[in-house]
Amino acid sequence: MPGARDRGAAPARWLGTGLLGLFLLPMSLSLEVSVGKATTIYAVNGTEILLPCTFSSCFGFQDLYFWWSYNSSDTFRIIIDGTVKNEKSDPKVKSKDDDRITLEGSTKEKMNNISILLRNLEFSDTGKYTCHVRNPKENNIHHQATITLQVVDKLEEVDNTVTLIILGVVGGVIGLLICILLLKKFIAFVIKKTQEKKKECLVSSSGNDNTENGLPGSKAEEKAPTKV
């Protein structure tokens, strides 16, 4: 019957989806590679620049293999590669194609840093640099992250005039609001004190009127003693 087959197929699909999720979950929690938040960095020709790269693994690593690749519009090459034996060992360089490159990373204190320093920059160094990591302990799972380097003649100074103006205006508005709130509280305090004084005056004036008019409870009600 078609209805029965459809009802039987639905649990099977859910079971398959669940098994796939359980299979992918360890992968999502395993090896991660990062080159920082900036996707593009700028450096002046003739200077040096640090290309950052760190990795992390929830399952640890053994004989981890890493390499950096350079990619421009017409060139692709591996510029440095190496290995990390375990968490207690520093990275070791196996080969590099440029003496200007040095490995600056360390895995001690759980830094897991495999950054490289590129010295004596040239305009031809502009391009994409990708940090690759492969972990045999996780079935040779491979992750990577890319950062773009732009080598320029000089760094342009950022004009902060507009930012400073905006900050000044915002600060002035906030200061004005604070002054208005303080003034409002002061006026409310003065009004409250004035009303309290008026009430005191009315009570005092009412007591005096009762005394003068000889109302009950006043001194005017008292009679002189009768002579015998």
Reported pTM: 0.59
32-152, which class in CATH?
mainly beta
* Residue tagged 């972990």 (tokens): 135
Residue predicted with more confidence, 112 or 218 = 112
Q: Quick: pLDDT tens for 27-43.
A: 445 789 999 999 999 99
Half-sphere exposure of 144 (CA within 13 A, CB side): 13
Lowest mean per-residue pLDDT among 45-59, 79-93, 95-109: 95-109
Residue 113 φ/ψ, nearest 5 degrees: -105, 125
**Domain coordinates of the chain in residue numbers?**
32-152
- Say if residue 116's pLDDT is above 80: yes
Q: Return the percentage of the chain with pLDDT > 90, whole number.
A: 42
Please provide the distance, in angstroms rounded to a whole number, between the alpha carbons at the two ends of the chain.
Answer: 129
Q: Quick: pLDDT tens for 121-148.
A: 999 999 999 999 999 988 899 999 999 9
**What pLDDT, on the 0 to 100 scale, is given for residue 162?**
75
- Alpha-helical regions (H) of the chain: 2-28, 161-213
Mean pLDDT of 41-51: 96
Residue pair 50/131 in contact by the 8 Å Cβ criterion: no
